[in-house]
């Protein structure tokens, strides 16, 4: 079995114990071996902005330690070129296109998200794991 790329929203829901989605995100993450869960530097950036902006050192450390448990996938230039194509074709925002392109480039088995637009553009790769449908 290959890697599962985690969209930033899934990480935030789990780490912040989001009232509506936190438990679902945690259950999904607990359903696979931790070494299968992958993120990119973009996920790290998006997760750390809030704690850094708020100067919340404890929350920042919580994220840094938690993010270190995941496999980190690099973002070479072909990922950015694929993201440009995804933006042009599906109208995705740049971060969303980069997440999907990273998962595609690295041959991930899935991209877990709560974004139905990503799920649509991913053509079966992106899965809304917290929809509760």
80 DSSP β-pair partners: none
Tens-digit pLDDT profile for residues 54-103:
999 999 999 999 999 999 999 999 999 999 999 999 999 999 999 999 99
Query: How deeply is 85 buried, as exposed, middle or buried, from its count of CB atoms within 10 A (0-12, 13-18, 19+)?
Result: exposed
Tens-digit pLDDT profile for residues 16-65:
999 999 999 999 999 999 999 999 999 999 999 999 999 999 999 999 99
- Average pLDDT for 116-132: 89
pLDDT at 133 over 70: no
48 vs 71: CA distance, rounded Å:
17
- Structure token pair of residue 115: 């974004």
128 vs 8: CA distance, rounded Å:
13
The pLDDT, as a whole number, for residue 132 is 62
Please report the domains of the chain, with CATH numbers, ordered by start residue.
4-74+108-128 (3.40.50.1010)
- Phi then psi dihedrals of residue 19, to 5 deg: -60, -35
């Amino acid at each position: 079995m290959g890697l599962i790329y985690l969209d930033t929203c899934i990480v935030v829901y789990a780490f912040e114990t989001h009232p509506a989605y936190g438990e679902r995100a945690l259950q999904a993450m607990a359903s696979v071996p931790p070494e299968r869960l992958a993120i990119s530097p973009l996920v790290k950036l998006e997760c750390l902005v809030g704690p850094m902006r708020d100067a919340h050192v404890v929350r920042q450390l919580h994220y840094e330690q938690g993010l270190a448990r995941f496999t980190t996938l690099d973002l070479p230039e072909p990922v950015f070129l694929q993201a440009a194509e995804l933006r042009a074709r599906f109208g995705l925002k740049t971060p969303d296109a980069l997440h999907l392109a990273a998962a595609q480039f690295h041959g991930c088995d899935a991209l877990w998200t709560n974004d139905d637009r990503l799920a649509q553009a991913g053509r079966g790769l992106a899965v809304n794991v917290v929809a509760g449908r």
